[in-house]
Amino acid sequence: TLREAFGLPVGYSDHTLGTEIAVAAAALGAALIEKHLTLDRTLPGPDHAASLEPAEFTAMVRQIRAVTSALGDGVKRPAPCEEKNRAAARRSLVAARDLPAGHVLTRADLAAKRPAVGLSPADIDAALGKALKRPLRRDEALTEGSL
């Protein structure tokens, strides 16, 4: 991209009708948007007809801010409004069947189910081959204390 090639912010000079292209440019990374502004598109002159009137310009700015906010910063994390549902929505490793104490875990012994009250499914490789310290009932979450 130009931003990477030159190490500078990149902008877009928009001479199209409407606001869609400017919003798309911002979504693609344009840090600056140039858009003509007029108080009245019917005024004489070469730029008035393709310019935005104040209410349209305000709407464009809102649209750009909404789109760039929705794109985030590229770091995947739950939004604050999602935190209360995090445990219910995520999964834990659970016993796929009743397992006795001392049993050495295999992939067939484990399943991933809600809620997230035990080890994450991402930790399955660390659990495989380990012996259980205590028995687990079917669908009981695997925890650090279980291993």
Kindly report, residue by residue over 25-52, the tens digit of the pLDDT.
Answer: 999 999 999 999 999 999 998 889 889 9
Q: Which residue's entry shows tokens 């104040």?
A: 54
pLDDT for residue 90: 87
The candidate with the shortest Cα–Cα distance to 127, out of 101, 146, 99, is 146
> What phi and psi, each to the nearest 5 degrees, are found at residue 35?
-140, 135
- Packed helices 20-27 and 54-71: angle between N→C axes, nearest 10 degrees: 30
Give dist(CA 18, CA 50) in Å, integer: 8
pLDDT, tens digit (0-9, with 9 covering 90-100), for 126-137: 999 999 999 999
Give pLDDT tens digits for 61-113. 999 999 999 998 888 887 788 778 877 788 999 999 999 999 999 999 999 99
SS3 at position 2: helix
How confident is the model at residue 89, as a pLDDT?
80
Residue 56's pLDDT is what?
97
